[in-house]
């Protein structure tokens, strides 16, 4: 049985004091989610991670939004796995479309980072998803299969079982035009079949999230679909009342 998961992707939002206020204010709702068997987390910016670790309620998953594949060295502007580990962060989002678009993040690079994270007992959240052009050409599955195959290349089934996947169609991110639950399920079911071809039955244990304009008023729809295990949420994860609404939608 796969546990439902809600992960808030804060992107480049919140100063440390704003992040602290969220961490201090979310205790009750996080407890409520956990008592209903749901995993919940947030992914603050690097500069807010330590603050959130220090002020968050027990059980809140705290994720970085990127990490270097290297442990240390001459990589100006990068943050390493040992640095995250030392402050108690063990989850990392990788391959988000914004990083693929603006920072040259490739599936090959993500593959190296995923392997480094797994070697360190950490949890990668690997994002995939197609552009509007690819969607309109009917090539979503071909595109996403390539991202999955390259990103997870060389993993053992045991390692693959520890990865979380997020399917986020680029045309749905931050646009208010969320993919219908049928479209999301169609692609996510396909991703699961691809994972099954690559890794066997462990694919049935891998959590696959939908992301792209998920809001408190639409999150429950996705949960009706058999292959969708939760959501990666940007805008609607920033405010406490909205985050609470997302949890309420998942508990339904």
Nearer to ligand PGA, 51 or 97 (CB): 97
Question: What residue is closest to ligand PGA based on CB?
Answer: 234
Smallest separation, CB 78 to ligand PGA (Å): 21
Whether 153 is a known active-site residue: answer no
Whether 96 is a known active-site residue: answer yes
* Candidate list 96, 98, 130, 185, residue with the active-site label: 96
Nearer to ligand PGA, 161 or 216 (CB): 216
* Candidate list 98, 105, 130, 168, residue with the active-site label: 168
Rounded CA separation 188/241 (Å): 28
Smallest separation, CB 26 to ligand PGA (Å): 18
- What is the contact surface with ligand PGA in residues (CB under 6 A)? 9, 168, 173-174, 211-214, 232-236
Smallest separation, CB 98 to ligand PGA (Å): 7
Q: Which residues are catalytic?
A: 96, 168
């Amino acid at each position: 049985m796969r546990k439902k998961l809600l992960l808030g992707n804060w992107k480049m939002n919140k100063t440390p004091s704003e992040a602290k206020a969220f961490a201090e204010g979310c205790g009750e709702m996080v407890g409520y989610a956990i008592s209903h068997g749901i995993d919940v987390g947030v992914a603050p910016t690097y500069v807010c991670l330590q603050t959130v670790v220090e002020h968050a309620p027990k059980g809140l998953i705290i994720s970085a939004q990127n990490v270097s594949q290297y442990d240390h060295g001459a990589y100006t502007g990068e943050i390493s796995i040992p640095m995250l580990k030392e402050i108690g962060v063990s989850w990392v989002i990788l391959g988000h479309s914004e990083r693929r678009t603006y920072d040259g993040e490739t599936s090959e690079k993500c593959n190296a980072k995923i392997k480094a994270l797994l070697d360190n007992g950490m949890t990668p959240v690997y994002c995939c998803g197609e552009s509007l052009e690819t969607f309109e050409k009917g090539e979503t599955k071909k595109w996403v299969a390539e991202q999955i195959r390259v990103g997870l290349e060389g993993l053992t089934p045991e390692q693959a079982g520890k990865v979380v996947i997020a399917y986020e169609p680029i045309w749905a991110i931050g646009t208010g035009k969320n993919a219908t639950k049928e479209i999301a399920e169609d692609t996510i079911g396909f991703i699961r079949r691809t994972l099954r071809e690559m890794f066997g039955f462990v694919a049935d244990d891998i959590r696959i999230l939908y992301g792209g304009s998920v809001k408190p008023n639409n999150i429950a729809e996705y949960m009706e679909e058999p292959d969708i295990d939760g959501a990666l949420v940007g805008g609607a994860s920033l405010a406490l009342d909205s985050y609470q609404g997302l949890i309420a939608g998942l508990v339904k």
